[in-house]
Amino acid sequence: MGDRLGKLRVAAVQAASVHLDRDGSVAKACSLIADAGRQGAQLIAFPEGFIPAHPCWFTVKPATGAAALTLSKRLFANAMTLPGPETDALGEACRSAGVTAVIGVCEKRAGSSGTMFNTQIVIGPDGRLLGKHRKLTPTLAERIVHAPGYGDTLQVFDAPFGRLSCLICGENGSPLAIAALLSRYPLVHVASWPAFVSPATRLAEVIDRSTQGLAHMMGAFVVNATGVLDDRAIEEFGASGAELDFLMSARNQGFASVIGPKGQKLTGPVSGEALVCADIDLDDVIIPKIVVDHAGHYGRPDVFDLRVLEPPAGYER
Considering only CA atoms, which of 262, 285, 272, 66 is closest in space to residue 162? 285
Considering only CA atoms, which of 8, 28, 7, 14 is closest in space to residue 255? 14
Active-site hit among 30, 94, 166, 169: 169
The rounded distance, in Å, linking the Cα atoms of 18 and 31 is 12
The rounded distance, in Å, linking the Cα atoms of 314 and 317 is 9
User: Is 48 tagged catalytic?
Assistant: yes
The rounded distance, in Å, linking the Cα atoms of 27 and 243 is 30
Considering only CA atoms, which of 210, 206, 220, 224 is closest in space to residue 267? 224
How many helices (DSSP H) and strands (DSSP E) are in the chain? 8, 12
Considering only CA atoms, which of 101, 277, 259 is closest in space to residue 172? 259
Within 10 A of 64 (CB to CB), how many other CB atoms are there? 10
- Cite the DSSP H helix spans in 18-170: 22-38, 66-78, 85-97
Active-site hit among 135, 142, 166, 289: 135
As to burial, measured by CB atoms within 10 angstroms (0-12 exposed, 13-18 middle, 19+ buried), residue 113 is exposed
Q: Which residues contact 2 (CB under 8 A, 6 or more apart)?
A: none
The rounded distance, in Å, linking the Cα atoms of 102 and 117 is 16
Helix axis angle for 203-218 and 175-182, nearest 10°, is 40
Active-site hit among 30, 48, 108, 132: 48
The rounded distance, in Å, linking the Cα atoms of 243 and 69 is 18
User: Is 135 tagged catalytic?
Assistant: yes
Catalytic amino acids? 48, 135, 169
